Structure formats: structure tokens, C-alpha cells
Amino acid sequence: MYISIYCILSFLISACSGISVKASDGCGYDVCNLGDPNKLNVHIVPHTHNDVGWLKTVDQYFYGARNDIQHAAVQYILDSVIPALIENPDRRFVYVEIAFFWRWWIQQTEDMQNTVRKLVNESKEISDHRRKNVEVYSLQFEIGHLEFISGGWSMNDEGVTHYNSIIDQHSLGAEFLRDQFGECGRPKLGWQIDPFGHSKEVASLFAQMGFDGLFFGRIDFQDYTQRNQSKTMEMIWKGSYDLGEPSWLFTGVIPRVYTAPQSFCFDYRCHDEPIRDDPQLHDYNVPERVQAFIDAAHIQARSYTTNHIMMTMGSDFHYENSNEWFKNLEKLMKYVNAQQANGSDVNLFYSTPTCYLYALNQVNKTWPTKTDDFFPISWNTHGLWTGYFTSRPALKRYERYANNILQVTKQLNAFSNLTLRHAFFPLSNIDKQTNLFLSLQITSCIGEAMGIVQHHDAVSGTEKQHVANDYAQRLAQGIDSAEYVVDQALKKLLSKGDHSLPVPNQFFCHFLNISECLPIEDQNNFTITIWNPTIQPIEQIVRVPVTKMYTIRNATGQGIVADMLPIALSVKTIPGRMSRADYELLFTASVPGLGFSTYYFETKNQSVKQTMKVIRDQACILQNKHLRIEFDEKGNLIKIRNLDRNFDVAFSGQGLYWYTSFPGNSSMPEFQASGAYFFRPLTPYPIPASNTRNITCTYTHQVNKASIVYNNWASQEISIYGEGHIVEVEWIVGPIPIEDDRGKEIIMRYD
């Protein structure tokens, strides 16, 4: 079947995994240089990889601040590249990170914006009258001068992201490209050159987005060796068993991750020699440089199966001085191609990944297939890229929390018929008639903040601490902007007519994960409104930290049964917690699908005796009609029994342990340190968080739970609720003691 793609091309993926093409007139593939069918065609792809935060914050990277940390300034890259593309109509350049490009775009004059549009999507002669020489030059702007690939707000991670957020951040970038550049601005392929492993689910998403292909650079070093030798660097990736062909995507592995061939990097950051082409100079190096490049092209071609190869010319934050790159590349093309007269088969020309993909398409060959992930990957013998799966868990949790709020905000904005999209999706701040952005700050939008945090050095947890703080601040500001929309939407939805009383302001309790909600402390009355973003009705246990006893009623006035439980000491002593609440009320909320329920809290005039049973440091059992969990007197989990299916899962041990981190200096593979990227324990044997533990089992109407304390920095709670079918395991770890100068990798282990 045809996978619909943008503008002129559809790829038909046949049963034998070949690719055929259906072409039409328009922008994009029609302007591609397909080279010479009798030569080895080298597609030269100028590009820059701009991390949306890593060693510096996104703002610092854009403006070039804190160059003492890393010299990088994205605004100057774009300032340099655009005039260079205008200067020579043969030049090509690809750009990915729309978070940066958008910032640069809104600072440009209307004339510059129109010039860039011509580089992307118009073929038009523009006369330039040069007064000095009284001559007229005709500049030919061709489609594809500047091409956007992937087109997300950032180059998203694939190991720890949620599909909601991947779709949202690509939607944000795609909306900008559509609005500013029309249909020709729409990317035709994915470009995931830097993430630390690749998921077939992301390949499936990209296929469903209409991409024709995907290129990336990082795979396991052993997998790379095998593919390099067997010429299977390019394949059809079958992303989903369930979806079938609509999830298939042509995929290619780029050599050298995404850098230039050795000794051919022409950025000021590199130390490679320029092309010195004056034969009168003593250090004239054209013959040596030409032969070295021809050799590099032939070596790369051994790993691929067609007479087309792609060479990425660029790296992290390259092209701040684009003339240095383009001038040397053009000399290289000139002198290498001149050797064709002497029998060389190497043919160089400017290209893009899209045109390289199209050239492969035109070869009309059958490709190997792949059906699983590129996960996990090893960078070297001791560098297993799994550390980032759990690095900075607090930021990972906060990103998921912000995603939940963003999805709910979008729903409430729609269902209440508000027109407040600009408050959470920043591109709505642009006036379509005047092309001017409204005054709302871009950094206050949750959609923009979430797009940034999907970056592969953001939610992954591999950034520096001050950058992680910046990401968290952006999410917090974005959540505040979303809270305004939620408040306005609920006021409209909760209103019962023209004569109803004003609905009070609604607000989020952001710190319920540490049993804190300061605005309701000591209040005599308050309400809680719970929104269900799913289409199914749900029953959910709700925990409310309180300083008083309350009665709870639903919207019809019916009383709701609630339990009042003491908050664990391990929660109350979490650093930064400011709440005076010692208890939390637990009750079961019933919420309709895509709807809300409101509950009313009122202070009790007199205390009511709690029905709660507590057992300390004894063997105990948690049980409802579906599940039975057994512990011994030492807090060891013995068995979980499924009462519905009548089977047991026995445990010889369960709990919190830690590995000692390998303390290498990463100078060589054998000295690879454990850290944010890599998980590498010093020994294969984990150490218990404590040799002893205390267990307290608590029984109420709503919950049976076992609280297990290992020490003053590690504890866990295992709970079952009412008639629930799941076991909930919640842990608290930290602050992790490091006074002994030993890194600690904390794990939850089940034996």
C-alpha cells in the first residue's frame, strides 16, 4: 500500500522489502542531483548538530554565553549559513532543531525572513543591481538550498520519552514549518544522529508521521562491525507487528556517527589542514588531500551496496564561520572531480539526506529487514549505554507530570470552547495576518518547554546540573501557564448558569508526591475537582494531605468514606518539604470518561474514631479479594498470590540494594566510569541498603500497606487498595550518602 508523504513522492514498500516511487511535479525530490550512474556518487551533506541544552542551557547555546564552558553560539551559525547559501546556488544545508531556528527567526527582519523562504520553497530569479560595477547579477534560488529534516522542536531521546511527547514536539516544529514555509518546509525523513539507542516504536511513529526514511549514527559497536562487514548498514525497519506496512521505514546507519571523514573537518574547532591549492606555495597539498579523500570514499563504499554514499560534513555547533567549511568543500569537489579525467570514479556534489534517500530509491533494490530495537547499545567493551535510563529520576518524573498537565490542558481548552491555545502552545502567539508574535513570552508556554525537554540530553538526565535546573524551571513556568487555562476552563464547565455563584479559582497541588498542599492547610472548607483524560470511567484512590479532620461529600451531597493515615516519617523529612500536614485522607474517587468529579471537604466539628490496625515488626499479610501478599517479621517479601487465578509468585529476596560505581577516568575503554550515560558497577555483587529493616503493616477500609524502612535514606511502601487488581510499590531514596567517596547505583531487586 502507499504510505502518503509530502508533496511529490510516495514509497511503495513491497512484500520483498524493495522500495518503488511514485513521482509528481512539485518541490523536494524533483530538484535532487542523482549524480552519475557510472560513478561512485558522494553526497556531501553540510550540517550542524545543535544540542538544545547539555553542557550549557538552551539560552546560553543560542546566544553564545558561557563560552568558558563550551564555545557554541547558534545564532551566529544561522547568521553565517544563510548568506553563504545565497552566495552560491549550488550549496546545500540541512537544519534540525526548530527550538533554535524559531528563536533566530523571530529576531529577523521581514526582508530576511522572505529571503530564507526563497531558499526553502521558491525558485525565482532576483536581480541584484551592484552600483559599484554597474553590473546586474542574476541570483538563482533553488528549492532545497536550505532544507529542514526531522523538524522536531528538538532531537528527541528514544529510550525514556513518552509517545505523547514525541508527537507533540514534532507537531510543534511541523506547525512552525508549515506556517512559515508552506508545504515545501515539511521534512521528509527522521534524523536521529545523536540519541543513545533507537526504538522501533519511534520508527513506527515516524512512518505514521509520513516520513520516508530515518538516519541515525549511534548503534552498538559490535552491531556496527557486523553490519559494516555484511553491507547491511541500510535496511527496512519494520516498526510494529500490529500495524504492518504502514509502520515500515527505510533506515540507514551513518558512519562516524555524524562527523566528517578523518582529516576533512574544516571548522575552526578542528585541527585538520585546509585545502592549500596554490602550487607556488611550499605547502601545496592538493594531490595528497585529493587522494586521501578518494581513499576515504572507497573505504566507506565497501560498507554499502549501491554506488551512492553520504558524507556528513559537520558536527556539534559547527558552521559558526560557514565560509571556512564551504570554501574548502568546494575546493575538494573541484579537485576530486577533476581526477575523473584520470580514471577516478569518485563524483562529489552538494546534497541532502533527503536527496540521498531518493537516490537509493531510484536504484530500485531489495533491502534487508529489521524487526527489533537498537537497544541497549554499547559504545565500547565497558560502555553500556544504560545509565541514562534512570539518571535524574526527579526530572524524569517532572517531565511526565508536565506531560499529563499538557494533555489535560489541551482537552479542557477544547471542551470548554476557550480560545487560550496561545497560553500553552507558543506558535499560537503569531498573528497570521501580520506575521508578528504577540507579547506572551515563549519560555512561559508548556508546549515549548516540553518540546525542549524531549531533547536527548534533557529528559535523559545526561546534562549538567545547572542545565537540569533550567529545564525544571521551564517546566514549572509552563505548568503555571497551563494552570491559568485549566482554571478558566473549569470555571466555565463548573458554572451552572447565568445566576450561579462565581466559581472560585482552581489551582494544582504540585507536591502531592511528598504529601504537601500548602494552600489547603488549616482551611475549613475546600473542593477538589478531578479530571479524567481517558475515555473510560475510572475509580482512583486520592490522597489529600491535611492538618484537620474533614468530612467529604460528592456533587450530589452523598458522604464519601475516607481513611485518615499518618504520613510516614521518611516523607515528612524529605529535604525541601514545608508542609505541616501529619496525615493524609484517602478516599476512592469515581470519575467519568473525559469528564470530571468534584468533592467537597468540610471540617468536622468533632473527632471520629479511626478504624485502623497497625502491626510492627511481625509477620503480616496484605489481602483483598484478588490479591494476597505475605511478609515475614524481618520485612522480607515472601509471596504474592493471585486469588482469581490461584497461583503464587514466591520470592527468596526483595528490596533496595546498591552497586559501587566504577570510578574510572574514561580515558580508555577499560577505565570507563559509571555515570549519567553508562551503568558500570565495580563488582557484579550488589550490597543491601541495610542488613536489617523494620516493617509496619497498616490496615484500613481503603488500603492495606506494608511500610519497610531500611535506613535513614531508603524506604519503601507496598500497598493494595480496596478491590484493586494491582500491587503498588513506592520507594523513597535519598539523599544518598556520598561522604565515603563511593558512587552508589541504587536498585530495586526481586529474587
> Is the pTM higher than 0.85?
yes
DSSP-based three-state secondary structure for 118: helix
Q: How many CB atoms lie under 10 A from the CB of residue 277?
A: 15
Residue numbers of the chain with a pLDDT score lower than 50: 1-26, 123-142, 428, 432-443
The matching CATH number, chosen from 3.40.50.720, 1.10.287.1080, 3.40.190.10, 2.70.98.30, for 611-750 is: 2.70.98.30
Q: How many CB atoms lie under 10 A from the CB of residue 327?
A: 16
> Which segments of 144-285 does DSSP mark as H helices, in order?
163-181, 200-208, 221-230
> Which segments of 257-321 does DSSP mark as H helices, in order?
286-301
The matching CATH number, chosen from 3.40.50.1100, 3.40.50.2000, 3.40.50.720, 3.20.110.10, for 40-126+138-151+187-384 is: 3.20.110.10
Q: For 393-494, CATH number?
A: 1.20.1270.50
Contacts of 234 (CB under 8 A, 6+ apart): 250, 251, 252, 253, 304, 305, 360, 367
Residues of the chain with CATH 1.20.1270.50: 393-494
Q: Looking at residue 604, what is its pLDDT?
A: 87
Q: Looking at residue 602, what is its pLDDT?
A: 96
Q: Looking at residue 26, what is its pLDDT?
A: 43
Q: Looking at residue 436, what is its pLDDT?
A: 42
Residues of the chain with CATH 2.70.98.30: 611-750
DSSP-based three-state secondary structure for 332: helix
CA 420, chain centre distance (Å) = 25
Rounded Cα–Cα distance for residues 9 and 437 (Å): 34
- Active site annotation includes 295: no
Residues of the chain with CATH 2.60.40.1180: 516-606
Q: Looking at residue 254, what is its pLDDT?
A: 97
Superfamily of domain 516-606: Golgi alpha-mannosidase II (2.60.40.1180)
> Of these residues, 168, 194, 212, 457, which one is catalytic?
194
Residues of the chain with CATH 3.20.110.10: 40-126+138-151+187-384
Q: Looking at residue 51, what is its pLDDT?
A: 98
Q: What is the DSSP letter of 98?
A: H
Q: Are the CB atoms for 648 and 731 separated by under 8 Å?
A: no
CA 55, chain centre distance (Å) = 17
* pLDDT averaged over every residue in the chain: 90
Q: How many CB atoms lie under 10 A from the CB of residue 266?
A: 25
Q: How many CA atoms lie within 13 A of 124 on its CB side?
A: 12
Q: Looking at residue 27, what is its pLDDT?
A: 59
Q: Looking at residue 100, what is its pLDDT?
A: 98
User: Could you tell me the CA-to-CA distances from 479 to 217, 402, 423, 483, 526 in Å, in that order?
Assistant: 34, 7, 10, 6, 22
Q: Looking at residue 364, what is its pLDDT?
A: 87
Q: Looking at residue 129, what is its pLDDT?
A: 35
Contacts of 406 (CB under 8 A, 6+ apart): 168, 424, 446, 447, 450, 478, 482
- Which position has the grid cell 474514631? 609
